[in-house]
Structure 1
Amino acid sequence: MFEAVIGIEVHCELKTKTKMFSGAPVTFGNPPNTQVHVIDMAMPGTLPSVNKKGVEMAIRVCRALHMKIDDLLRFDRKNYYYADLPKGFQITQYFHPIGQHGYLDIEVNQQLLRIDIERLHIEEDTAKMTHYDDCTLIDYNRSGIPLIEIVTLPQMHNSQQVCAYLEALRMILIYTDVSDAIMAEGSMRVDVNISLRPQGSHTLGEKVEIKNLNALSNVQKAIDYEIQRQTYLLEQHRPVLRQTRRFDEKSQTTVLMREKESLLDYRYYPEPNILPVRLDNRWIENIKQQLPLLPNQKKSLYQETYGLSSQDTKILLSHKDISLFYDQVISIYPYYHTCCHWLIGDVMAYIRQHKKHINDLLTVQDFAELMNMLKQEKVSSKQAKQILEFMILEKKSPLIVMKEHHMQSLNDENMLRSLIEEVLDEYPQLVYDYHCGKTNVCGFFVGQVMKKTSGQAHPQKTNELLRQMLEKRKI
């Protein structure tokens, strides 16, 4: 029997306005080679300059991952010639990463697991290459975009743990507001380092790296396949070679890219064009203090203070914009469960259907007011759904919608009793049937009251009064 040992390298593009070492804009989806600076193309006489915002974002993530932050910022050259690196080298941090010795706690099968993070360093992205049968096209828009690389220790043992770690890390990147971390768009890319060893052994086996995985489903499939592949080799007493591989979606297998390079192949040395920069400790502390609530902190708040279920909490947290909207709404009216129910239900359904951002549909104040009207029984749940739709379509407050569309809930007890009395007098046979055990006629009676009030009678109040009055008419 063999045990898999897995370490993860995550490359995350930072959402700065400009690139890490040049003034070229950072955008997604622009025509190829339109967002390029002479520095990105390594034109003679050009010199890099450090993007301060990129450094700030790296510090945010370091803090969120409990890392020791190096206040002396230093860069290195990673030398290798490839078509996606015009300079023939990449500016990165090898000898002195900005962050070291952190951790991230994850939950797997309801058990807490701590993943130790070895380092976080800043570097620049490479160009994007598109391969065809007879040529390769290069888009330098991506070249120079700020990256952080986050490297774990080899502590995970299966694809389930890895995917849980990646989901938790992605939430950190989103909530610290450094990246959208959309794997399909390449703003978060995953390299998996995996080796096998006999059960009980403490010696690592030969490592294989799987490069540039762009979806959690592919991460899971690639790891499961690679464990199977290496297990077969070891059972056949054949060596596992040190390789770089990729995941092929068509065959659902990992495929050899190249034999694994050694560190000597990269010839790292200090970047001569960027002098070391001593970071102001007050600036670093200010960045730390301004960090928003992180996913684990919000999870505790939602479940322990607000009493939300683990499932509702998970849905809220997985949509940062809706979570922030929820936080603002309950700061006005603390209807924790009601607001959550409506946001992850009707509102999220509308967002998915129309592909809109929540702030384009509703204002916090108007939605909070609708929740208050519902809790105060000024409108029924059915009416609230209708009002919500009109609020979105007409961009009007719930009070105005309610008046213009005559949706005020009727919950005056005397008036409801009078209407119920009329209905019971109109259907004496059904009253008799009720007392004979056919209690489902209550729905018919409530429907008749609704019909008389054009749907404005409060359903719960009507149902309560109806049952009281039926009991008084016992045979």
Structure 2
Amino acid sequence: MSLDVVAAAPKKFIEGRTGPWEIVLGLEVHAQVASKSKLFSGAAVGFGAGPNEQVSLVDAGFPGMLPVLNRYCVEQAVRTGLGLRAQINAYSRFDRKNYFYPDLPTGYQISQLYHPIVGEGEVEVEAEDGSFFTVRIERLHLEQDAGKLIHDLSPSESYVDLNRAGTALMEIVSKPDMRSADEAVAYLKKLRTILIYLGTCDGDMEKGNLRADVNVSVRRPGEPFGTRCEIKNVNSFRFISQAIAYEARRQIEILEDGGKIDQETRLFDPTKGETRSMRSKEEAQDYRYFPDPDLLPLKLEEAWIEEIRQSLPELPDDKRRRFMSQYGLSQYDAGVLISDQAKADYFEAAAQGSGNGGRDAKLTANWVTNEVSARLAASDTEFADNPLPAAYVAELVELIETNVISSKIAKEVFEHVWNGEGSPAQVVEARGLKQVTDTGAIEKAVDEIIAANPDKAEAVKDKPQAIGWFVGQVMKATGGKANPAAVNDILKAKLGV
């Protein structure tokens, strides 16, 4: 079956054999709280420890061990809720979600079903075409992570590592407001950016610190929601996109063949690029939720919530608006910069004085988002680990603005700077790359080239665009160091165009 995505404003539909279908998506994002200890014990949290080296008696489910709530994790949850423009619930409560699995030694997970710490909020997301859409947040609740099962150490045995058991997670549940894989990925990227700005989760998907359960259903445009399937624990943007594409195709094929969708939990196999059934989807009653008898209800003081609110950093949406007003950047340029907090901070450090008769902010942004970003990507380096000082970009832009070097020479200077030859000014001085602005020297080069090419000079009068050939020859003769504007002016005067 050919299932091509076709544009149909304002939504995107998939064309099946019997007409268009609409994908309906919601995400349940599990974000590991940036805390040094677990949610209900003092055991350390960290990546790379040996098996079962970060496990307390509480995490291991020893009889008689009582959980003690980590205040810092509560603060991080409230901070995240405020960053999502969500309702902070002064009263919340922990529940036991009962199920048996080897990586859950207590036989239950402590979560928040009935009274979550954070209620409804929203996230504004920029789509690929520059438009914006809103994803509503249904809730954010705190819960503890389970351990990890390892199956590849022996052909006949599985091993349990409880290092992650009890690690604090924020589960952020969205409404079914997304209608394409692109929208789901854009939402998750924006959510990840917000969490990193807030400092409540490092967003490291490779380590499993941010992962998503993707709820997928399809329906005919305008009809009620269809039966959804949940794809568990997808930990990369690419896999989320692939999983949605496959699952939507699978459901459409079943429905168009006269079948029905079973509500179930599925896994995504990235090797085969397909989802497969894991288990039938359980309802809340199947887990026998009840209030955790070892934990009192959580009551937050309004003054404490307000104190956290006042400590919030400038968030991505606010930073984008400020970059546009303060620096005169386009929505696109500002969006590229604020998508990475380290990149945004780097730009600001390089652009000090821009917008007030100082450094050209647009030119600075171009160098940051193009040359610098490309070099970092080529070396697989995060912007936060950028080895090039922002002051060097500022200096390079200033050299261009003051006509010490041309934009073309600047690329050569940047190459030498990136290779560790010193600051831009040092490279320009050491390699003799200053732009030639002496009109006498430029005129001499122009006169020599015109004299050597009288036929071409005569032809320019009938074909003015041919002057470009002379510009190239002058630049070549001056080693690319002649001021391009001066070259053009002198050539036009000499050739009479």
TM-score (norm 2): 0.83
CA shift, 1:458, in A, is 4.0
- Preserved contact between residue 405 and residue 433 of structure 2 (Cα < 8 Å): yes
In the other structure, the counterpart of 1:102 is 121
Partner Cα distance (2:34, 2:215) in 1: 27
In the other structure, the counterpart of 2:463 is none
CA shift, 1:238, in A, is 3.6
- Preserved contact between residue 395 and residue 424 of structure 2 (Cα < 8 Å): yes
- Preserved contact between residue 83 and residue 315 of structure 2 (Cα < 8 Å): yes
In the other structure, the counterpart of 1:417 is 440
Match of 1:55 among 74, 89, 101: 74
Letter of the structure 2 residue corresponding to residue 120 of structure 1: L
1:130-162 residue CA offsets vs partner (Å, 9 max, x unmatched): 224422222222222221101122343443432
Is 1:83–2:83 an aligned residue pair? no
In the other structure, the counterpart of 1:43 is 62
1:244-279 residue CA offsets vs partner (Å, 9 max, x unmatched): 111223443321111222212222222233333433
Match of 1:270 among 255, 278, 291: 291
In the other structure, the counterpart of 1:348 is 373
- Preserved contact between residue 421 and residue 427 of structure 2 (Cα < 8 Å): no
Residue range with higher mean Cα deviation, 187-196 or 338-347: 187-196
Partner Cα distance (2:470, 2:273) in 1: 58
Partner Cα distance (1:461, 1:195) in 2: 59
In the other structure, the counterpart of 1:467 is 491
Specify the SS of the correspondent of 1:123. Answer: strand
1:91-127 residue CA offsets vs partner (Å, 9 max, x unmatched): 2112211111112233445554332211100112111
In the other structure, the counterpart of 2:41 is 22
- Preserved contact between residue 92 and residue 121 of structure 1 (Cα < 8 Å): yes
CA shift, 1:364, in A, is 3.0
- Preserved contact between residue 424 and residue 431 of structure 1 (Cα < 8 Å): no
Partner Cα distance (1:425, 1:220) in 2: 61
Letter of the structure 1 residue corresponding to residue 400 of structure 2: L
Partner Cα distance (1:381, 1:66) in 2: 43
Residues 357 and 388 (structure 1), Cα distance of their counterparts in 2 relative to 1, 3 Å cut? farther
Is 1:379–2:421 an aligned residue pair? no
Superposed, 1:253-402 pairs within 5 Å as 253-303=274-324, 306-334=327-355, 335-358=360-383, 360-394=386-420, 396-402=422-428
Partner Cα distance (1:406, 1:386) in 2: 12
* Root-mean-square deviation over aligned CA pairs: 3.0
CA shift, 1:322, in A, is 1.2
In the other structure, the counterpart of 1:126 is 146
Partner Cα distance (1:105, 1:344) in 2: 23
CA shift, 1:62, in A, is 0.9
Residues 426 and 72 (structure 1), Cα distance of their counterparts in 2 relative to 1, 3 Å cut? closer
- Preserved contact between residue 101 and residue 107 of structure 2 (Cα < 8 Å): yes
Partner Cα distance (1:467, 1:79) in 2: 83
Specify the SS of the correspondent of 1:370. Answer: helix
Partner Cα distance (1:308, 1:72) in 2: 43
Q: Percent identity?
A: 34
Partner Cα distance (2:478, 2:55) in 1: 69
1:149-206 residue CA offsets vs partner (Å, 9 max, x unmatched): 011223434434323322322222222222232333322211122344555444x443
- Preserved contact between residue 446 and residue 462 of structure 1 (Cα < 8 Å): no
Q: Which runs of 5+ in 1 are unaligned?
A: none
- Preserved contact between residue 424 and residue 445 of structure 1 (Cα < 8 Å): no
Residues 386 and 76 (structure 1), Cα distance of their counterparts in 2 relative to 1, 3 Å cut? same
CA shift, 1:350, in A, is 1.8
- Preserved contact between residue 91 and residue 123 of structure 1 (Cα < 8 Å): yes
Residues 23 and 231 (structure 1), Cα distance of their counterparts in 2 relative to 1, 3 Å cut? same
Match of 2:472 among 443, 452, 460: 443
Partner Cα distance (2:189, 2:234) in 1: 14
Partner Cα distance (2:295, 2:492) in 1: 82
Partner Cα distance (2:369, 2:34) in 1: 27
Residues 369 and 49 (structure 1), Cα distance of their counterparts in 2 relative to 1, 3 Å cut? farther
CA shift, 1:321, in A, is 1.2
TM-score (norm 1): 0.86
Partner Cα distance (1:218, 1:254) in 2: 11
Specify the SS of the correspondent of 2:453. Answer: helix
1:331-368 residue CA offsets vs partner (Å, 9 max, x unmatched): 33442111111111221122122334555423333432
CA shift, 1:26, in A, is 2.4
1:3-38 residue CA offsets vs partner (Å, 9 max, x unmatched): 544332111112222222223332223433333333
Specify the SS of the correspondent of 2:52. Answer: coil
Partner Cα distance (1:78, 1:331) in 2: 52
In the other structure, the counterpart of 1:162 is 184
Letter of the structure 2 residue corresponding to residue 429 of structure 1: A
In the other structure, the counterpart of 1:434 is 457
Specify the SS of the correspondent of 1:377. Answer: coil
In the other structure, the counterpart of 2:13 is none
- Preserved contact between residue 84 and residue 127 of structure 1 (Cα < 8 Å): yes
Residues 421 and 95 (structure 1), Cα distance of their counterparts in 2 relative to 1, 3 Å cut? same
Specify the SS of the correspondent of 2:366. Answer: helix
CA shift, 1:305, in A, is 5.1
Partner Cα distance (2:254, 2:448) in 1: 84
Partner Cα distance (2:405, 2:32) in 1: 47
- Preserved contact between residue 333 and residue 368 of structure 1 (Cα < 8 Å): no
CA shift, 1:423, in A, is 5.8
Partner Cα distance (1:392, 1:446) in 2: 25
Letter of the structure 2 residue corresponding to residue 460 of structure 1: P
Residue range with higher mean Cα deviation, 97-106 or 294-303: 294-303
In the other structure, the counterpart of 1:184 is 206
Q: Which runs of 5+ in 2 are unaligned?
A: 1-18, 461-465
